Amino acid sequence: MACLLLALALAALGWWATRRLLGDDTAADPNWVVVDEGAGQLLALAALPAGAGPWGVLLAFLLFRLFDIAKPGPVGWADRRHGAHGVMLDDLVAGGLAAALILALRQVLPPGLL
């Protein structure tokens, strides 16, 4: 629950800060802005069960990075948005997809495997 709350707080703060940073330049996506990555990664981590070990954390990280780099479907759509929406939304969607996959895996894998 803490990861989810922190992800939501970081996403809101990141949206605000990115809007202020970009100003009128809605096409910019500075590569040194990483608050979006943090919020997306926290969403993926939020799907892990309490006490998940290092393999679960590694899985959450790898799934998030896979979706963030490959930009399938909704992640690619979000990446094409402009302004703060474009900067923040693609990573939040990637984190959400990673979380959804982790939650699905938790339903089919034996308990304690993640």
CB 50 within 8 Å of CB 35: no
Task: List the one residue out of 39, 7, 37, 17 whose CA is nearest residue 84.
Answer: 17
Q: Where are the domains of the chain?
A: 2-24+31-108
Task: List the one residue out of 82, 76, 91 whose CA is nearest residue 23.
Answer: 82
* Largest Cα span, the chain: 51
Query: pTM value?
Result: 0.91
First vs last C-alpha separation in the chain = 17
Q: Phi-psi region for residue 71, left (φ > 0), alpha (ψ -120 to 50) or beta?
A: left
Q: What is the pLDDT along the chain (114 residues), one digit of tens a residue?
A: 899 999 999 999 999 999 888 876 666 677 788 999 999 999 999 999 988 989 999 999 999 999 999 999 999 999 898 888 888 999 999 999 999 999 999 999 888 777
